[in-house]
Every structure is written in C-alpha cells, then in structure tokens.
Structure 1
Amino acid sequence: MTEANVVYSDIKFTKSKGNATVTPSPTESTYSEIRILKTEPSAGSQQQTGGSKVTAERVAIVVLSALLAAAVIALGFTCYKHHQTTEDLQKLTDENTALRKNITERRCEVKTCNTVQKPCPKPPTDPCHKCEDGWEPKGSQCYYFSTDESTWEQARHECRRRRGDLVKIDSEAEQSFLVQKVSDKMVEHEDKFWIGLTDSVKEGTWLWADGTPLNERLTFWSGKEPDNWTEKDVDGEDCARMGEKNGTDLRYWFDQSCKVSQKSICEKSAETGRQEAVCILA
C-alpha cells in the first residue's frame, strides 16, 4: 500500500463583535491544522489499463486469423469445384466423341452382300462421303468438269442447276488437284475452264461466286495476270479461268472476258451418311 502525501496548512481565524471587526492580537490567534491527503494512482491501475489494450489487440488478431482461415477454406473449395467441373466436362466430351463415332459407323453400315458379310475397301477419304455419277470426289467435296462451253454467267447457272456453284479454291492442295484434272481434259492451250472468281462488281476487287473476297495470300495467277486486256472486249476481262495443257506449275489462273465461251468446273459438298455399298466397313 502506497503512502499518501500529507500537506499542512495554517489557517488564522479573527473574532468579530457586532458590526465591528476586531483584529486579535498575536496572542489571540487561533490555529487549526488541516491535513490534505494527495494520492497518486496506484501501479495496479496502470497495469490494468495496459492489460486492457493488450487484450483488445489479441482479440483483433484472433478475429483476423479466423477471417483469413475462412477465406483460405472458401478458396480451396472453389478450386476443388472448378477441378471437378473440368473433369466432368472432359468426361462428357469423351462420351460425345465416342457416341458420334458409333453413330457414324452405324450410318455407314449396310445389311449384307449376297447374304455374306464382306469388308468394304476403305477409300483414302471419309467412306461416308459420296458423289453423284459424273462428279469426282476430293475430300468432302465433289467436282464436275463440264465440257460444254458457255459464258461465265451461263456456266454458273448450270452449276447451280446441278445444286452446286462454280468452284471456289481454298487451298494449294485443291489447286493442285484441279490443275491435274484440267490438264488431262484439255485439248489445246485455250481449252481452259471457268472458276467462280470475278471482279465484275468492282474492278480489281476479286470475289468468289458466293460473295467472299479472294484471299490475296492464296492466289495462283499466271505471270502478269490479271491484266484486264481490252482488245477483244472494251469492258475488259472480269472473270477468271484456269488450266494449262501438260502444265507442271500451280499458277494457271487467267482473267478473261466473261462473255467468252469456256468449259467450267462446278463444286458442291459431298453427300454424307448415304453409303450405298451392300457390305460392312472393315
């Protein structure tokens, strides 16, 4: 227990008579001793206040730790659900691929051949792609090489009557295939074939028959072609043809007046799922 500080003070009292104040003589002065206790806060109170601050800080740390733990648990759960969803999606993709393969095999399947099941020879492309008589297959496309000579517009009309259109060349492999086929069918130098390419809408802007623009990085113009020569037609040369007898290059596109009569190449997608062979594919 701490000891209180004691403060002493002398107080002098005077006597009064009636309305007159009498100043006592020094011998008549009355003294009274007053002790005033001045106390200081104890160390225990200070320690208690400090302890309250420490306790509050500990509570805050505990709360923050709990929130952090909850966030980590939530993140872990989210990652787990994402992983589970990814696995489920992959499983569904695999099942869909297997189902499509099974359906394709069933569509290509036929009953019997002379009551005996025989393996069908596998063509180099999808066996379920079939072209009509007179059309030549290449991948998923069919091509018709017309030997009837007509203008570009007439040739396109005939292709559309056959449920196709003038050929649209999308790759070097397709160009190579057509060059070989056309070369075998040509009789002389000018015996070329119309393709579905024209700049009749706007000079210099070449479009395919379906309206898509020509890919300038995938062209097969010969030499200085297209030159839009106007000697035979003042309207110039607004349609494209291809071919070279015994040609060994791929660059055999030439512009020509759309009014000139030429042979032509039609193209359409092969039919699928209508295999007519009476045997089961190996």
Structure 2
Amino acid sequence: MSRPQGYIEGEAPASQQHSGSNGGSKVRSERVALLVVSALLAAAVIVICRLSLDNMHTKQSFQTLRDEHEAVKRNLTERRCEVKSYNTVQQTSPQPPVVKENDPRPKCEHGWEQYGRQCYYFSIDLLTWSKSRDECRQKGGDLVQIDSREEQTFLELKLREKNNFEWDVFWIGLTDSEKEGTWLWVDGSPLNESLTFWFLGEPDNWTGNDPDGADCVRMGKKAGAPDMKRWFDESCKYTYRSICEKPAETRHFTLHCV
C-alpha cells in the first residue's frame, strides 16, 4: 500500500495533533481556575475563623474588665462604710448612726424652734392680735397656748434671747374678748386658774388708750417681774410680735451608707 505524500512514519496527521492540543489546554485552564477558587475559599475560611476568634477574645476581655470594675466598686463602698463607722465611734459628741431607718422622732421645719413635741415660731412682724393669729394660721399653727410651767420657762428663756429692748413683747393665744373676765385659749379651752403667770395687778382691763379695754394677752420683759410673771392684758389693737405654735411632724426616712 502506497503512503500519502509527505507522510512520516510514527507521526500523527496534523489535523489530529491540533485537536489534541486544544483539549489539553482546556483541561489545564479548568484545573487552574479550580485551584484559584479553592485557594480563595480557603483564605476566606481562615479570615472568618480569625475574626471569630478575635471577637470571642474581645468579649472575654470586656467581661473580665467588667467583673474587675464591679469588684473594685464593692471594695471601695465597703471601705467608705468602715471609715465612716470608725469616725462615728471616735467622735466625742453624740452623733447619729450612719444608717437609720424610719426615724420616728418629731421634727420642726426650718425657722421653728422645738420643745418636746411642739414647734414655736417667734415672729418679727408687729401686728395686732387678730393679724398675728392669721399669720400663725398661714404657717400651719396658731398663737401659742401655754399648758405647763415647763413650757412657760422655755418660752421665757427664748424671749430673753430674742428681746431687743424693754417693750419688745409677744402676743400669746389667750383672750377674754367673748366675755369679760372669762379667759379662753385659741382652741376654746378655758384658762387653768391654777396655772397662770400674770404680772402683779394683772389683768386690769385698762381702758386708758382703748375704751374697749384690754382683751388680749402678751408676754415679755418687765423689770422686777418675779417667778416668770410676764403676762399682761392689752388692747387687741396694739401691734406686737407674736409666738406661733404647732405640733412637730414625724418624718419617716432611710439613710444609707454611701
């Protein structure tokens, strides 16, 4: 059998060689692409794992810092309480405890002075007896009603502190304006005749300056007045200072050591 012209033994035809070359190149390209994609996926997985690990470490660090912060706060609070308690014990004058709950002691508001369970306000306004009573009522009380020798003593001592001159005197809540000679306190109760502090010769219902007489009572300085005898009946139209009275308030509160 005759060979085609140009045939070389052992060599494939040119058309077959070209077809095989194209097939091999295509396979190699697909493999390279697959390797690149695999490498990118692997890199992405590594990055995600690293970010997750870093995030977990960050959360753990924050939690550790938070726990340490709370421990420091508790420690400082305990130290402050210990120091305040120590200082309270060391003080020589009586001091209130660091912690009190529901303190039932009655208290007077600012500007009032306390005696027992009553509060007293010493007005500086010069008013008639009725205007003085109005002022006391606006403040939640009334003109003072004196029910004991101890209360009279307390008021006398306070007036000595507050009197600026001899006739700096104060209205109290006693009057006989309804019936002459029948002395009543502002709450309507009658005067206890065994517990009075009239100055010598009082009450005299003097009408020299007021024809209506002297139907209201004031107290204050009088030279030579013995044994707290400081009550005088005066015209209710005169203007004097006054003493207001009201019960002390019971306040419930809680103090914490901070």
Is TM-score (shorter-chain normalized) higher than 0.5? Answer: yes
Which residue of structure 2 aligns with residue 260 of structure 1? 238
Alignment of 1:60-75 (within 5 A): none
User: Is structure 2 residue 95 aligned with structure 1 residue 121?
Assistant: yes
Asked if 1:181 is matched to 2:155, the reply is: no
SS at match of 1:178: helix
Structure 1 stretches lacking a partner, 5+ long: 1-111
Deviations 1:12-39 (A, max 9, x none): xxxxxxxxxxxxxxxxxxxxxxxxxxxx
Q: Are residues 1:190 and 2:164 paired?
A: no
Are the aligned partners of 2:143 and 2:172 in contact in 1 as well (CA < 8 Å)? yes
Partner of 1:244: 221
Greater percentage in helix = 2
Q: Which shows bigger deviation, 265-274 or 223-232?
A: 265-274
Residue 273 of structure 1 deviates from its aligned partner by 3.0
Partner of 2:183: 206
- Contact (CA 8 Å) 1:130, 1:275: kept in 2 or not? no
What is the CA-CA distance between 1:187 and the residue it aligns to? 1.6
- Return the letter of the residue paired with 1:259: K
Distance (Å, rounded) in 1 between the aligned partners of 2:244 and 2:256 = 31
How far apart, CA to CA, are the structure 2 residues paired with 1:172 and 1:228? Answer: 24
**Structure 2: which amino acid aligns with 1:219?**
T
How far off its partner does 1:248 sit? 6.8
Question: Are positions 1:165 and 2:142 aligned together?
Answer: yes
CA RMSD of the aligned region, Å?
A: 2.5
1:183–1:248 Cα change, 3 Å: farther
Can you list the C-alpha shifts for 1:119-151, whole angstroms capped at 9, x where unaligned?
Answer: 6736xxx97110000000000000000011100
- Could you tell me which of 111, 116, 137 is aligned with 1:134? 111
Q: Give the AA of the match of 2:248.
A: A
TM-score when normalising by structure 1: 0.54
Q: Aligned in 2, Cα 1:212/1:180: closer, same or farther, shift over 3 Å?
A: same
Q: What letter corresponds to residue 227 of structure 1 in structure 2?
A: D
The unaligned stretches of length 5 or more in structure 2 are: 1-76, 89-93, 97-102
Letter matched to residue 227 of structure 2: D
Identify the structure with the greater strand proportion. 1
Structure 2 residue matching 1:147: 3-state secondary structure:
coil
Among residues 248, 251, 257, which one is paired with 1:273 in the alignment? Answer: 251
Q: What is the aligned-residue identity percentage? A: 56
Corresponding residue number in structure 2 for 1:31: none
Listed one character per residue, the Cα deviations across residues 191-211 of structure 1 (whole Å, up to 9, x for unaligned) are: 100000000000000000111
* Secondary structure, aligned partner of 2:159: helix
